[in-house]
Amino acid sequence: MHTALLQDNFGRAIRDLRISITDRCNFRCFYCMPTEAMEWQPKTEILSYEEILKLSEIFVALGITKLRVTGGEPMLRRDLESLIARLAQIEGIEDLAMTTNAHFLGGRAQALKDAGLQRVTISLDSLQPDRFALMTGRNELPQVLAGIDAAIAAGLDPVKVNSVMMRGINDDQAVDFATFAREKSVRVRFIEFMPLDNGKVWRREMVVPGEELRQRIHAVYPLTPVKSENLSETARRFAFADGAPGEIGFINPVSQPFCGHCSRIRLTADGMIRTCLFSTVEHNIKRLLRAGATRDELMDFIIATVEKKEDRHHINDPEFVQPLRTMSCIGG
Ligand code: SAM
């Protein structure tokens, strides 16, 4: 049993590490990629699997129990199954998850499950082919839907489907997504659009408050709250009052910030620790690692970095400054 060693200066235990394993993506979601023509980091700057494993083991020794592999698109990284298998073997990990666009999941969900992946979160912003293509820059909705089916069939559990709702772009599909949750028996979660796009398209008017979506869905499919045992859970969860399978969740970082219970830190693909999605500073652990730092030195660096975790994000304050790196680089 691990005790929480990682704690920030506001008394929050840090249990949850999100590891971006690549900055590359096969989709071009207009709200996620940087404005300029995409320039990938050179391969030499990206942490190797050995480096990711070494750091992960140290993070887990410091009390991290939950690992999420993300990107960019994590499934673009070669032989992902071998990384998952080795992460799964780290003693102390209780929860091993991945966030993916599901494009490549069709043929590989079972192998990932067999390697030790427990659950998956799939991003899907539209159930309509034309709108899907508009939002992702790729006309590949059928592959994503096949990926969701494969995840369910492989027994990855739960399968969560995350949808970023934007006013006037896809928010008319909220009830369709609820129908999808019922039919597929998956957890659909609506995420408020966050100012993490390097100032490209985010406008406050485009944010659809989760509560507004909840009311719209409730009018068609009455919802009842699901109590979560996990205080740091980001989503407000609801079941269908008629007992239908599936679940709906609302992640409302803009209208109802949940920083007070945040238990997360991030490791970017190029080896920077980020203590908040909205951090404007990053902490270069790769430099230390590649300079041959000892395990103790790496631990000290992580502990000192976590102590600098911000108390909250400042999205709703006039002085808010958007981070320079977009979600595709930070790792969602
Ligand atoms: N490629 C994988 C995927 O599509 O799930 C993982 C990385 S992607 C950056 C992770 C999540 O971040 C996606 O669900 C995406 O919709 C979300 N995201 C990106 N930019 C966002 C923003 N500005 N606001 C809210 N969510 C965002």
The model's pLDDT over 283-307, given as tens digits with 9 standing for 90+, comes to: 999 999 999 999 999 999 999 999 9
- In this predicted structure, what is the pLDDT of residue 107? 94
Pairwise CA distance, residues 51 & 86, whole Å: 12
Per-residue pLDDT tens for 143-152? 999 999 999 9
Our answer on whether the CB atom of 104 is closer than 6 Å to any ligand 1 atom is: no
Q: How far is the CA of 31 from the centre of ligand 1 (A)?
A: 9
Residue nearest to atom 1 of ligand 1 (CA): 73
Q: How many Cα atoms occupy the beta-carbon half-sphere of 60 within 13 Å? A: 22
| CA-proximal residue: ligand 1, atom 22 (nearest) | 194
CA distance 14 to 62: 9
Which string of DSSP letters, residue by residue, matches 249-271? EEE-TTTS--GGG--EEEE-TTS
Beta strands in 166-278 (DSSP E): 187-192, 223-225, 236-240, 247-251, 264-267, 272-274
Nearest partner of 135 among 32, 250, 34, 212, judged by Cα: 32
Banded model confidence at residue 262, pLDDT cuts 50, 70, 90: very high
Q: Quick one: which atom of ligand 1 is closest to the CA of 122?
A: 5
**Nearest C-alpha to atom 13 of ligand 1 is from which residue?**
123
Q: Report d(CA 67, CA 60) in Å as an integer.
A: 9
Number of residues in the chain = 332
99 lines ligand 1 (CB under 6 A): yes
pLDDT in tens, 240-258: 999 999 999 999 999 999 8
Q: Ligand 1: which residue has its CA nearest to atom 20?
A: 32
Closest protein CA for atom 5 of ligand 1: 100
Asked if residue 108 lies in contact with residue 98, where contact means CB atoms within 8 angstroms, the answer is: no
Torsion of CA 229, 231, 234, 238, to 10 degrees: 40
Q: What atom in ligand 1 is closest to the CA of residue 73?
A: 1
Q: How far apart are the first and last CA of the chain?
A: 28
Mutation to probe ligand 1, out of 120, 327, 328, 330 (largest number of atoms < 8 A from CB): 327
| Cα–Cα distance measured from residue 104 to residue 91, given in angstroms and rounded to the nearest whole number | 29
When pLDDT is cut at 50, 70 and 90, the band that residue 35 belongs to is low
CB distance 57 to ligand 1 below 6 Å = no
> What is the Å distance from ligand 1's center to 3 Cα?
31
| pLDDT reported for residue 230 | 83
pLDDT at position 220 is 98
Say how many Å lie between the CA of residue 85 and the centre of ligand 1.
24
Give the whole-number percent of the chain exceeding pLDDT 90. 85
Centre of ligand 1 to C-alpha 123, Å, is 7
Given a contact cutoff of 8 angstroms between Cβ atoms, the answer to whether 260 and 312 are in contact is yes
Taking the CA of residue 32 as reference, the ligand 1 atom at the shortest distance is 20
| Residue labelled with tokens 């990629």 | 33
Q: Which ligand 1 atom is the nearest neighbour of the CA of 70? A: 6
Q: 268 CA to middle of ligand 1, Å?
A: 14
**Nearest residue by C-alpha to atom 11 in ligand 1:** 332
**Euclidean distance between CA atoms 211 and 213, whole angstroms:** 5
User: What is the reported pTM?
Assistant: 0.96
CA distance 304 to 273: 11
- pLDDT of 3 higher than 60: no
- Identify which of 123, 144, 315 to mutate to test ligand 1's pocket (most ligand atoms within 8 A of the CB): 123
- CB 151 within 8 Å of CB 109: yes
> What is the mean pLDDT of the segment spanning 204-226?
98
Reference 121, options 188, 42, 206, 194; nearest CA is: 188
Tell me the two tokens of residue 138. 């790729």
Is the pLDDT at 312 greater than 50? The verdict is yes
